[in-house]
Amino acid sequence: MLRGRKVVLGVGGSVAAYKSAALARELVRRGCAVRTMLTAAAQHFVTPALFAALTGEAAATALFPVRQGDATPPPTDHVAWAAWAEAAVIAPATADLLGRMAGGLADDLLTTWLLAFPGPVVAAPAMNRHMWSHPAVQRNVARLRADGVRVLQPGFGALAAGEGEGWGRLPDAADVVSALEDVFAAGPPRPRPELPPPCPPLLRERAVVVTAGPTREPIDPVRFISNPSSGRMGYAFAEAARDMGGRVLLVSGPVALPPPAGVDVVSVTTALQMRDAVLAAAPTADLVVFAAAVADSRPAEPSATKLKKGQALEGTLSLVRNPDISAEVGAMGGRRVLVGFAAEAGAGVEEAERKLRAKGLQLVAFNDVREAGAGFGAETNRVVLVDRDGGREEIGPASKRAVAERILARAATLLP
């Protein structure tokens, strides 16, 4: 399982560092190509020469040239080592080292290399039993495990410095090797997601209003009419418009999403509240995106107290039509660009063309909510973007952020 594998062994500053020599020897015996990195603290317990003798490779100790007496250890190219290695083993992983790894620090060669290394990491902790049980260490371990690092359980037994018995011993070499075999048996790790490329500043200093989420129309204090909209599409528009340089106002119905950083948010509940917020902002807007799923109707007379069985809940609920917010903004005139949505379940793209003409919009995105990966709550979407000249552009299936970026790029070409 390990023959021919390329492994970097990171050694932290613990008295258990002497056991890492045995681990290095065992990895070499099983056919691994092993390179070693020693922290400055590790060198108080073991020497680079020891690991060079065991692995046949010079141990790395410095990110930059550092003169120590008559010797100047050569710097190590952490990027080249990251490209060479297939897996990393950190043994011993001290409390300090675990904390720096969890915090994403890069203050020495080993932690800098770990940030550049996209492959699997196995960490074998070793420390005082009180340190291992400290809440801060356990938080760091939980964070690392959530990030995909395989943090082993330390061994139980006699500890150094007269601490008696407890959890904190460096796991046996056989356990570390077994964990490494499991890592390789699991196949290549999932690629680390990379940040999307920066958005072009197509909306620099433009005032953008985005509506998002559902509205809730109260029947009584505990019941309401609504829909399954998650708000993800509208929030994707707000974040993309922000990243394109826009000054964004997000008018959001009730959702379970965190407010986007760098975006002004007005939280509303009902369609009438959303209408008031949008009409107040629209006159100075350059671009308005109507991505909210606004309830078409609302109860004519919501009850101030909870309705009991046998009341209106089991009879006819009298409804009145909510205002059409996008049509009202379209009737204002002006040179602002208006983008609407036609979320349908059975109607064709012709419905988007009808809405575009009837409401005075420049663009309408048609999507069928019955389609897998394109409905309410989905992380992806697929739309047909319709314009006033009869043009149609298919976008997706793609993430809602990617769909939002493409629609905003098209809208930006229509801005005066």
Q: Are residues 151 and 243 part of one domain? A: no
CATH code: domain of residue 288: 3.40.50.10300
Q: Per-residue pLDDT averaged across 80-98, rounded?
A: 96
Mean pLDDT taken over the chain: 90
pLDDT of residue 207: 97
Alpha-helical (H) ranges within 35-92 are: 48-55, 78-84
Residue 191 lies in a domain: no
Residue 177 lies in a domain: yes
Annotated active-site residue 381? The verdict is no
Q: Are residues 350 and 260 part of one domain? A: yes
Q: Per-residue pLDDT averaged across 306-335, rounded?
A: 83
User: 136-154: per-residue pLDDT in tens?
Assistant: 999 999 999 999 999 999 9
C-alpha pair distances (Å), 216 with each of 127, 212, 274: 55, 13, 11
Q: Are residues 150 and 66 part of one domain? A: yes
Quote the CA–CA distance of 173 and 179 in Å, as a whole number. Answer: 10
**Which two three-digit tokens encode residue 89?**
């083993």
User: 171-211: per-residue pLDDT in tens?
Assistant: 999 999 999 999 999 887 777 777 667 778 999 999 999 99
pLDDT of residue 179: 95
**Binning pLDDT at 50, 70 and 90, where does residue 4 land?**
very high
Q: Are residues 261 and 140 part of one domain? A: no
**Binning pLDDT at 50, 70 and 90, where does residue 352 land?**
confident
Residue 307 lies in a domain: no
Residue 303 lies in a domain: no
Q: Are residues 225 and 150 part of one domain? A: no
pLDDT at 315 over 80: no
The dihedrals phi and psi of 156, each to the nearest 5 degrees, come to -105, 135
Residue 198 lies in a domain: no
Residue span of the structural domain in which 176 resides? 6-185
pLDDT of residue 404: 95
> Which listed residue (128, 140, 227, 381) is catalytic?
227
pLDDT of residue 73: 63
CATH code: domain of residue 113: 3.40.50.1950
User: 369-379: per-residue pLDDT in tens?
Assistant: 777 767 777 88
Residue 354 lies in a domain: yes
Percent of the chain having pLDDT more than 90?
70
Q: Are residues 133 and 260 part of one domain? A: no
pLDDT of residue 306: 87
Q: Are residues 229 and 175 part of one domain? A: no
Of 395, 322, 330, the residue nearest 357 (C-alpha) = 330
Q: Are residues 220 and 255 part of one domain? A: yes
**Binning pLDDT at 50, 70 and 90, where does residue 351 land?**
confident
Q: Are residues 218 and 178 part of one domain? A: no
**Which two three-digit tokens encode residue 243?**
């990243």
Structural contact between residues 401 and 196, judged by C-beta atoms closer than 8 angstroms: yes
pLDDT at 386 over 70: yes
Residue 268 lies in a domain: yes
C-alpha pair distances (Å), 406 with each of 130, 200, 244: 54, 11, 12
pLDDT of residue 204: 93
Residue 304 lies in a domain: no
Q: Are residues 137 and 20 part of one domain? A: yes
Q: Are residues 364 and 272 part of one domain? A: yes
Q: Are residues 216 and 94 part of one domain? A: no
Type of residue found at 171: P
Of 173, 172, 88, 166, the residue nearest 127 (C-alpha) = 166
User: 18-59: per-residue pLDDT in tens?
Assistant: 999 999 999 999 999 999 999 999 999 999 999 999 999 999
User: 249-288: per-residue pLDDT in tens?
Assistant: 999 999 999 999 999 999 999 999 999 999 999 999 999 9
Structural contact between residues 179 and 122, judged by C-beta atoms closer than 8 angstroms: yes
- How many domains, in total, are found in the chain? 2
